[in-house]
Chains A and B, each alone.
Chain A
Amino acid sequence: MAATYRYLPDTKQDQEEMLKFLNISSIDELFEDIPAEISLQDELNIPEAVPEPLLLKKMNQLATKNKNANHYPTFLGAGTYDHYIPSVVNHMISRSEFYTAYTPYQPEISQGELQAIFEFQTMVCELTGMDVANSSMYDGFTSLAEAASLAVASTRRSKVLVSKAVHPESRAILHTVAGGPGYTAEEVNLADEVTDLGKLQEQIDKDTAAVIVQYPNFFGSIEDLKAIKKIAEEKGALLIVSANPLALALLQAPGKLGADIVIGDMQPLGIPMSFGGPHCGYFAVSKKFMRKIPGRIVGQTADEKGKRGFVLTLQAREQHIRRDKASSNICSNQALNALASSICMTSLGKQGIRHMAQLNIEKADYMSKTLEQKGFTIINEAPFFNEFVVELPRSVKEVNEKLLKAGIIGGFDLKSDYGFENQMLLAVTEQRTKEEIDQFIDVLEAIVNG
């Protein structure tokens, strides 16, 4: 071996010098502590190395096998959305001082990252109306499960109630997570397409640590947080709200409606869909849970000369200090995507984010009204943000196949998760033009009439 791989700089001479310094004759001697019986005799059975130009070609070919939103307007949402990402976002997160850095444990040479996280925390607090936000979680789904665990640990109660209008994947992960410490995650049925408050009232009791709802919910509808908070509060349960941060530009902040923990995913703001990841969970709490929040938090302080600076703080909560007493095991998070999201929020700004949210509402409103005019039934009874459910005369699968032939990616089929036949969840973001929406509806009409 000697410098035949571009990431490996050792020349033959380098190696010889190092071996000589170590008084050994070959690298193999450095592996003599691995017993012979468990040493690999053959090379790993994986494909041979590919030079960069050929590899780029191969990866481009693989990428081209996928139908992407640049060429196929998409009406899929259900937790991941096709939103506009300002060009500056990718340029700024491509600064390798950011992306090739580790967690900022050495604050003197990590002020850039630390300050960016501090600003991210501030923006999350602003949107959610909460007091404290952390530096990010894996995604919105796992944030929800972490919130449930926090609620169980801090109330010392044994169950959480989760609305069926919460994303199916959030609920699935919650059930997996609850199996660890062994608390119960009980689901609350729907009344139309929103949480059944009557059922919630029946199911809530003194063992309930928290009520978990989504805002807007999985079907796009806006849950009445005020009414839900009232029910939760009567039994001393916490209110956990999973919120779409873009919707919060125009919807009342959950913090102002009594939420104790607000979680969700920043994906709508600056993060590509990327086949579902990496996205970026956020986690915000009211002040009383400040020292119980999972994950890393940045705080402001000063150096010896009094100059403002930032550090990771309240670390006594975390796994590397508390080990088996830690309430969460999270270590790596999604820092670079939190940065992307901050840059996107900065680019959109105070006015732009409202404009973007307004466009989402208007496009979804236009599409739903046009569909209704054409005789289709819209399922949503409650007001919705940028998603709604339409009832189709054929199976969603069949309709989606026809749409795909017309160059459109159709909506989400509610059959497998909810058993709802012929019901399609549509997302209409600011990316969809009137022309694309009209084309979608034309295809739909042709199917019905054909």
Chain B
Amino acid sequence: MVEYNDLIFEISRPGRVGSSLPESDVDCVDLNDKFPKHLIRDEPAELPEVSELQLVRHYTALSNKNHGIDNGFYPLGSCTMKYNPKINEDVARLEGFSRIHPYQPVETVQGALEVLYELQEELAVITGMDAVTLQPSAGAQGEWTGLMMAKAYHAQKGETRTKVLVPDSAHGTNPASASVAGFQTITIPSDKNGLVNLEELKKHVGPDTAALMLTNPNTLGLFEKEIVEIAQVVHEAGGLLYYDGANANAILGKTTPGQMGFDIVHLNLHKTFTTPHGGGGPGAGPVGVKEKLIPFLPVPRIEKSGDKYVLNSDHSHSIGRVKGYYGNFGILLRAYTYIRTMGPIGLRQVSESAVLHANYLRKRLAPYFEAPFSQICKHEFVLSGSRQKNLGVRTLDMAKRLLDFGYHPPTIYFPLNVEECLMIEPTETESKETLDAFADVMIQIAKEVEENPGVVLDAPHTTDIGRLDEVQAARLPILRYFKEEIVEKETAKS
């Protein structure tokens, strides 16, 4: 393949066009007659000028430099990189869904509202909650939405609770969301088994506790067995329990956050419910709540009145709006399609397979790496690269070496409470052959660290670009392209 490294701006030439718009069928307007001079653009925006085929070649070339789930195994812990079904993509693109305006009269969008209403109901069943809002765009926004509801709930009871408790293994969004919602974060250390230390928790729970945020199974892939006791401790102090649904892929049809005692739950539809990650988004982070929190749900709520679906903003205790319109509808559609595809038995099998795969892979790899926790895991597990670190090779190096074999590396250096952490989530959609092939490669790399560390330290060898200088990127930020560069390039050539 011919190497292609140009920016779209560098292949741009004045006068080329990539689209054809019709000529105006109404009278011309001279901007100078319509707008004051100082509000008329004086210099055109320097957008690219390329033909349609040049555009297609450019973005095809870029896509060839990108690794997605369709390219190969993607065991990125806590991210649930499972297969993104194609029917979901087709459904989201149906004109009856993609070409409707959010402010159309409700009579003209009953099909869309039916999907949203049913999705709310089904997610409530899956999480063991009493009601669900689909507005939040992502997990982090769901967390913040949930915490704002917790705040409103306590306020209505006349209580000011200022603290949110978060275990040390939590996702970074948990403390950040708590902070954005105006709470102070208290970190609870894990015990030697990687679980919430109940005694430590008791020390910190009190009349100022607004909520405990917990991921269960936690980010180490371990189920918090004492969850019932944990819930009791928090509830007795008047606090609420918040469930970070990032790891919901382990529990579908097996248990629900509601049964565990949680009051508020968010789900990441782009993790558990197969909507694509899109290179960073869009996702969707619906939030479910127990009955006592229903009055605080964001508005508008999607409700059913007789056999008609309606939007209702008449809820005086609501925290208000959290997102434009009704959430990321196109993403919600994909999740709805997935839930319909799998049904109740299929969803349970999803979690069973995901957990089987993780335990299988863990046992295959455990002899070659430090495995800090010996108990069964759920849908993901952590290993430590500390043994390899003692030989002068870091987890980062091993991750880069995996690229040579066509694998996306696991999540690394997270959770923070495991040294040189590798967090591996194989998911249920991978075949045993894939798991075995990955295990073989991991074992090979562990051997390379002992016998030929240079090959790992210098990795990757096969990608079209080597390790990038991230320090320079942050120190002297170049965050956009400037046309001057092309001038210099041309001058240098001549």
Evaluate whether A43 and B345 lie within 8 angstroms (CB atoms) in the complex, with A70-B99, A404-B108 already known. yes
A208 close to B (CB within 8 Å): no
Residues of B within 8 A of A366 (CB): 26-27
Residues of A within 8 A of B477 (CB): 290, 297, 299, 313-314
- Least distance between B253 CB and chain A CB atoms (Å): 5
Residues of A within 8 A of B409 (CB): 106
Interface digits, B474-493 against A, CB 8 Å rule (1 contact, 0 not)?
A: 10011111000000000000
Distance of A96 Cα from B59 Cα, bound (Å): 12
- Least distance between B161 CB and chain A CB atoms (Å): 14
Distance of A366 Cα from B466 Cα, bound (Å): 56
Tell me if B52 and A22 are in contact (CB < 8 A): no
Interface digits, A325-361 against B, CB 8 Å rule (1 contact, 0 not)?
A: 1111111111111010011011111111111101101
Tell me if B321 and A48 are in contact (CB < 8 A): no
Tell me if B47 and A126 are in contact (CB < 8 A): yes
Tell me if B173 and A169 are in contact (CB < 8 A): no
Tell me if A30 and B21 are in contact (CB < 8 A): no
Evaluate whether A311 and B473 lie within 8 angstroms (CB atoms) in the complex, with A101-B277, A179-B182 already known. yes
Distance of A406 Cα from B65 Cα, bound (Å): 50
Interface digits, B26-68 against A, CB 8 Å rule (1 contact, 0 not)?
A: 1111010011101111101111111010011011111111111
Residues of B within 8 A of A356 (CB): 21
Interface digits, A21-55 against B, CB 8 Å rule (1 contact, 0 not)?
A: 11000010111111101111001111111101001
Q: List B residues 459-478 near A (Cβ within 8 Å).
A: 460, 463-470, 472-474, 477-478
Tell me if A319 and B140 are in contact (CB < 8 A): yes
Tell me if A40 and B99 are in contact (CB < 8 A): no
Partner of A250, one of B31, B55, B79: B31
Evaluate whether A226 and B38 lie within 8 angstroms (CB atoms) in the complex, with A33-B225, A300-B478, A328-B180 already known. yes
Identify the interface centre among B66, B70, B83: most chain A CB within 10 Å of its CB: B66
Distance of A304 Cα from B184 Cα, bound (Å): 42
B19 close to A (CB within 8 Å): yes
Tell me if A383 and B429 are in contact (CB < 8 A): no
Tell me if B463 and A102 are in contact (CB < 8 A): no
Distance of A31 Cα from B283 Cα, bound (Å): 29
Tell me if B349 and A5 are in contact (CB < 8 A): yes
- Least distance between B447 CB and chain A CB atoms (Å): 21
B169 close to A (CB within 8 Å): no
Distance of A17 Cα from B47 Cα, bound (Å): 57
Identify the interface centre among A32, A55, A112, A275: most chain B CB within 10 Å of its CB: A275
A446 close to B (CB within 8 Å): no
Identify the interface centre among A46, A141, A314: most chain B CB within 10 Å of its CB: A46
Q: List B residues 329-387 near A (Cβ within 8 Å).
A: 329-331, 337, 339-350, 352-353, 355-357, 359-360, 363-364, 375-376, 378
Tell me if A109 and B66 are in contact (CB < 8 A): yes
- Stretch in B111-119, B199-207, B448-456 touching the partner: B111-119
Q: Which residue of A lies closest to B70 (CB)?
A: A96
Q: Which residue of B lies closest to A32 (CB)?
A: B376
Distance of A1 Cα from B343 Cα, bound (Å): 14
Number of interface residues of B (CB under 8 A): 201
A156 close to B (CB within 8 Å): no
Evaluate whether A102 and B79 lie within 8 angstroms (CB atoms) in the complex, with A59-B337, A301-B473, A404-B108 already known. yes
Tell me if B460 and A108 are in contact (CB < 8 A): yes
Residues of A within 8 A of B141 (CB): 138, 142, 329-330
Tell me if A49 and B45 are in contact (CB < 8 A): no
Evaluate whether A275 and B321 lie within 8 angstroms (CB atoms) in the complex, with A365-B26, A404-B108 already known. no
Interface digits, A64-102 against B, CB 8 Å rule (1 contact, 0 not)?
A: 111111101010101110101010101110111111111
Tell me if B466 and A102 are in contact (CB < 8 A): no
Q: List B residues 276-295 near A (Cβ within 8 Å).
A: 276-283, 285
Distance of A56 Cα from B94 Cα, bound (Å): 10
Q: List B residues 389-407 near A (Cβ within 8 Å).
A: 399-400, 403
Tell me if A302 and B469 are in contact (CB < 8 A): yes
Distance of A98 Cα from B282 Cα, bound (Å): 12
Tell me if A68 and B60 are in contact (CB < 8 A): no
Q: List A residues 402-418 near B (Cβ within 8 Å).
A: 404, 409, 412
A135 close to B (CB within 8 Å): yes
Tell me if B41 and A62 are in contact (CB < 8 A): no
Tell me if A319 and B172 are in contact (CB < 8 A): yes
- Stretch in A114-122, A186-194, A371-379 touching the partner: A114-122
Query: Can you list 11 contacts pairing A with B, beta carbon distance less than 8 Å?
Result: A43-B345, A44-B348, A70-B95, A100-B68, A119-B481, A133-B480, A173-B321, A176-B320, A275-B330, A313-B479, A412-B103
3 A-B pairs with the lowest CB-CB distances in the bound complex, closest first: A276-B325, A63-B96, A49-B343
